[in-house]
Structure 1
Amino acid sequence: MADPTPTPPPPPAADAAPKAPPRNQALRMLGLPALPRKLPSRNWMIFWTISGAITAGIIYDKREKKRAIAKWSHAVEHLAREPLPDNSLGLAQPRKLTIYLSSPPGDGLRVAQDHYTEYVKPILAASGLDWEFVQGRREGDVRAYVAERVRRLRRGWENGDELDPTKEPTKEEIVEAFRKSRGIKDYDGVRGDVVIGRHTWKEYVRGLHEGWLGSLAPPPEPLPVTPTAESITDDKSAEGQSSEDKPAEDKPAEEKPAEEAKKPKRPPQPRPHNTTADYSTAFLPPRAPNEFDPSAPINEPHLLGFLNTPTRLYRFFNRRKLADDIGREVAAVCLCTYREYQQLAADADAASPTDSSDQPQCEQQKELAWEEKDWVKTVWKEDDPKDTEAAEVTEKIHAKPIIMDSRIAERMRRFQLLPEDEERIGKIVVPEEEVEGWTKGKLRQLYRWGARKAFEKKKASPLDGEDVD
């Protein structure tokens, strides 16, 4: 009788290859490789997690920034469709704004221009308004322009809007005279000033005070310093000693070529017609308006330095909030809704190191005061007498506090949205197609094209398939 217990199978050979796991049939039919059966290593997981988080943060912030700019652009786009007056015969001028921007402390003008192009210009372009630029490359350029613009207005009152024959007219005066001769009337209404950055705001306020409270005549030139006999002998001895120390071979190399001497220099900056100490004794012109053109200070965060990298990264990933704040201010400028500047209580712990005081201050002195903490340290240091660029600046404004005169402060106005405008703009919904990127937009187009080809039937004509003689 046979043994009922079956014999065990023979053990597999040691050199036999392991059997490959079965592949996914769907992937195999598509020609795709088999998916890995384990997660990547620890280092790869850390790398892809950090890279994915940074990429997602950048993409999300960029999309929401575009959404905020698009929302405020939609809020003012109806202004572009408003026609000019019918009785103007095509000669009426639209409302014109003035944009003031200047080089931030420690950097160039290009930074301010990029900031304006990214956050301010799209909303102004959607509103259909006209604007002009005032750009300052040095500290004090904006102050000089604002003061000269006010003085030109005051001279027009005294001279009966006639040009001074003893002086060469400027481009603005030539254009204005041409328009008057052709019967083109200037815009009669509220205009507005957009001031970008705390440093530009300081120069703007200082220029208003100088133009309205300063004299029309230029200040007297400072007397030249007459050198004494001791200083002359000291200079000669120093020059003789330095010439002896230098070898003869280095003298030709140090001589400047004639081409560099022929380079055109920037025009000198006009000297201020008054100082902040002259405000209380100055005389305000009787024809000064009760309300000046409203203004809107715009944020311009500008932080430099390697040690400030964490703060700069935080601001980089939250540019959508900056776009929303700037869009609100620019929309108020376009809609032309404004109010008076208010009187603030004393604040010893002020955000600005130059405006901390125990006395009540005007709202103009507190505008964008937090930006001063981000400025480079060279702003607060005294200028080097050997620095030629610093010598061209006739008055240092950035490092000094804003001094307000009550007569000027009560005439200034600030742009601000009305509650009903805030409610209307809050209901604006920006379509996703306006803020999506290139990849998502192309995928959306591909999906719509496929759906149209698959589900939409072509309407057949009754003559299809028949020969028509």
Structure 2
Amino acid sequence: MSEVKEASGATPPRPRQIPAALRPLHWMGIPQGVLTWQPKLPSRNWTIFWTCLGSFTFLYYYDRKECRRIRAEYVERVRGLSEEVMQPSELPRRVQVYTAKYPGDDDYEAGVQYFKRYVKPVLVGAAVDYEIVSGTRLGGLARDLRDRIHSRRRNLAGVQPWDNKLGAAALPFSLTPAQALQRELDGAVVLIGRPALKEWAWALKEGWGTFIPAEPIDRDQQLAELLSEDNAFDEIFKEDVDNADAEVPLEKPAAPSQGFMLPSKVAFQGAKRSLPMGVPDAATSQSPVPEGTTPAPAPELPPMLPMPAQPPICFVDFTDLVGFRNIPRTMVNFFNRRKEVRNGGEAGLAIVLGNKNDAREFDVRPRGTVPSEPLQGGDLDWGVEEEAFYRPKFHRTLEIIAKERERYYNVLREELSASRELARGEREPTRSEKYERPRGEVELRQDRFQHERDWRNTEMGYEIAKTGVGVAWDDQWRGSLRVLRPRGPDESVPRKKYPDAPAEEQR
């Protein structure tokens, strides 16, 4: 008790006196607590927090500052091209930019954003035009380029006229086909990432190295005809329910005859069922084809090998880090964007300062020794290390499609049965069917056609981009492909000096 009393009766510490130099400030109204404040270090936890926050802030600021400086350096090295005077009949140089959907990433614009962020500023600084061709699905770029090459082959063979823009014939400076081809060769092909390289090479092989029909074909119409003769929409009777799974293929699409029936055929079959007995239908009333006669085969164009010279190629390294396991690398790259800016600047510099005359030959192994699996050697192995960062989900693409197809056909069979029962009046609609009428047979066929088209296109794209499969190659391409070489640190385009302009504008 005595100790408590002594503690309670202890005199409080004397307040800190205001320094003599600060006393006038006290009489001016500044509180005494402000004048007697003694700063001290924060606690351990606060020290760790402020240290980490300051470090990350400085890293971010320094990296973005360096990005602006590096980008400005590369733009300044090519700005002289944008100051050159062009004649009214001249067109700026144009390059083709190819980007493909990155395996495992749902954002198909990732490659386009990378190009616009790191390579485009250099092209804009040099007044170089560009055209982006982007694949929105796996294999989309390959299919687009293949169709373009087929159209080009028909143009060169004279079976299809050259495409002219509306009103181009009336323009005094419109390009002829020969001038348009020359302008294309004077440009370049920019490939963003290894997926774009694989799809581009596949399109070259399928476009120039195969037989094609002389007349343009509608691939959707072809698929519709192939899918119009299967048994997926055949009538399933009650005694055949046990064998329904065997009738409708679920594991994979049936041969080339599975799927969608055109609306005209659906209407024809409906009319055929309602014909009275004794009335011949259109199929039986036609005259038979005489024996010994076969329909004339459609004319085809042979492969063009060796293929014509292609614009010089520029490879742009691009790795799309997606997925949980790539989070550490993504965090490190967030504070090291200057590396991407420098890589994009080097690629842009090679595009602007390079041309088909000083480009090097495509580096590949000797003739007959190029394997079909990586490592293939030379330029065919460009970006092969990117495949190690693909999401594991991408490797299960075929398995995922098989499960989706099986689940879809199970639901389709139920919807088709309900739709036909209601259409025939075999039963009354349920409470839910009164509010939401089941889809008709024509709608179900169209929906199935769209699903099958997407599945088949995805399967084709997976076979092109999957790991363990190399880049498509043909030995007859030698001499037709060239690659833009990297530029040295001293190569640039000097800016013009105008004597009447102020010195500040000349710099």
**How many angstroms does 1:175 deviate by?**
1.4
Helix, strand or coil at the partner of 1:97:
strand
**Residues 24-423 of structure 1: matches in 2 within 5 Å?**
25=22, 33=34, 36-84=38-86, 86=87, 90-105=88-103, 106-159=105-158, 162-163=161-162, 173-175=163-165, 178-179=168-169, 182-185=172-175, 186=179, 188-189=182-183, 190-217=186-213, 223-224=226-227, 226-227=230-231, 237=241, 284-285=303-304, 288-289=307-308, 291-337=309-355, 338-343=359-364, 355-357=373-375, 361-383=376-398, 384-385=401-402, 386=404, 388=451, 389-393=454-458, 395-396=460-461, 397-399=464-466, 400-419=469-488, 422-423=489-490
Provide structure 2 residue ranges, at least 5 long, that are not aligned to the other structure: 1-9, 246-300, 367-371, 406-450, 496-507
Taking structure 2 as the reference length, the TM-score comes to 0.60
Mark the CA change 1:38 to 1:150 in structure 2 (over 3 Å): closer, same or farther: same
**How many angstroms does 1:366 deviate by?**
0.9
Q: Is the CA contact (8 Å cut-off) linking 2:92 and 2:127 kept in structure 1?
A: no
**What CA distance in whole angstroms lies between the structure 1 residues aligned with 2:325 and 2:150?**
45
Mark the CA change 1:355 to 1:134 in structure 2 (over 3 Å): closer, same or farther: same
Q: Which amino acid counterpart does residue 483 of structure 2 have in structure 1?
A: R
Q: Quote the residue 1:253 is aligned against.
A: none
Moved more, 112-121 or 313-322: 112-121
**What CA distance in whole angstroms lies between the structure 2 residues aligned with 1:320 and 1:301?**
15
Mark the CA change 1:227 to 1:62 in structure 2 (over 3 Å): closer, same or farther: same
Helix, strand or coil at the partner of 1:175:
coil
**How many angstroms does 1:37 deviate by?**
3.3
**How many angstroms does 1:288 deviate by?**
3.8
Q: Is the CA contact (8 Å cut-off) linking 2:79 and 2:493 kept in structure 1?
A: no
**What CA distance in whole angstroms lies between the structure 2 residues aligned with 1:193 and 1:408?**
16
**How many angstroms does 1:26 deviate by?**
12
**How many angstroms does 1:343 deviate by?**
2.6
**What CA distance in whole angstroms lies between the structure 1 residues aligned with 2:377 and 2:210?**
21
Offset from partner CA, 1:131-176 (integer Å, 9 cap, x none): 112121111221122222222222222118735xxxxxxxxx2318
**What CA distance in whole angstroms lies between the structure 2 residues aligned with 1:26 and 1:284?**
97
Q: Percent identity between the aligned chains?
A: 23
**What CA distance in whole angstroms lies between the structure 2 residues aligned with 1:123 and 1:302?**
22
**How many angstroms does 1:232 deviate by?**
5.0
Q: Is the CA contact (8 Å cut-off) linking 2:97 and 2:130 kept in structure 1?
A: yes
Mark the CA change 1:176 to 1:131 in structure 2 (over 3 Å): closer, same or farther: farther
Q: Which amino acid counterpart does residue 206 of structure 2 have in structure 1?
A: E
**What CA distance in whole angstroms lies between the structure 1 residues aligned with 2:84 and 2:377?**
37
**What CA distance in whole angstroms lies between the structure 2 residues aligned with 1:234 and 1:128?**
71
Q: Which amino acid counterpart does residue 175 of structure 1 have in structure 2?
A: K
**What CA distance in whole angstroms lies between the structure 1 residues aligned with 2:13 and 2:333?**
61
Mark the CA change 1:355 to 1:40 in structure 2 (over 3 Å): closer, same or farther: farther
**What CA distance in whole angstroms lies between the structure 1 residues aligned with 2:159 and 2:43?**
83
Mark the CA change 1:153 to 1:42 in structure 2 (over 3 Å): closer, same or farther: same
**What CA distance in whole angstroms lies between the structure 1 residues aligned with 2:203 and 2:39?**
71
Mark the CA change 1:317 to 1:23 in structure 2 (over 3 Å): closer, same or farther: farther
Offset from partner CA, 1:4-59 (integer Å, 9 cap, x none): xxxxxxxxx93563333528759969979556432111111100111111111111
Work out the number of aligned pairs and report it: 349
Helix, strand or coil at the partner of 1:395:
helix
**What CA distance in whole angstroms lies between the structure 2 residues aligned with 1:295 and 1:235?**
63
**How many angstroms does 1:70 deviate by?**
1.6
Provide structure 1 residue ranges, at least 5 long, that are not aligned to the other structure: 1-12, 164-172, 242-281, 346-353, 429-469
**What CA distance in whole angstroms lies between the structure 1 residues aligned with 2:18 and 2:107?**
64
Q: Is the CA contact (8 Å cut-off) linking 1:362 and 1:404 kept in structure 2?
A: no
Mark the CA change 1:286 to 1:405 in structure 2 (over 3 Å): closer, same or farther: closer
Offset from partner CA, 1:118-140 (integer Å, 9 cap, x none): 11221111110111121211112
**What CA distance in whole angstroms lies between the structure 1 residues aligned with 2:38 and 2:493?**
49
Q: Is the CA contact (8 Å cut-off) linking 1:355 and 1:365 kept in structure 2?
A: no
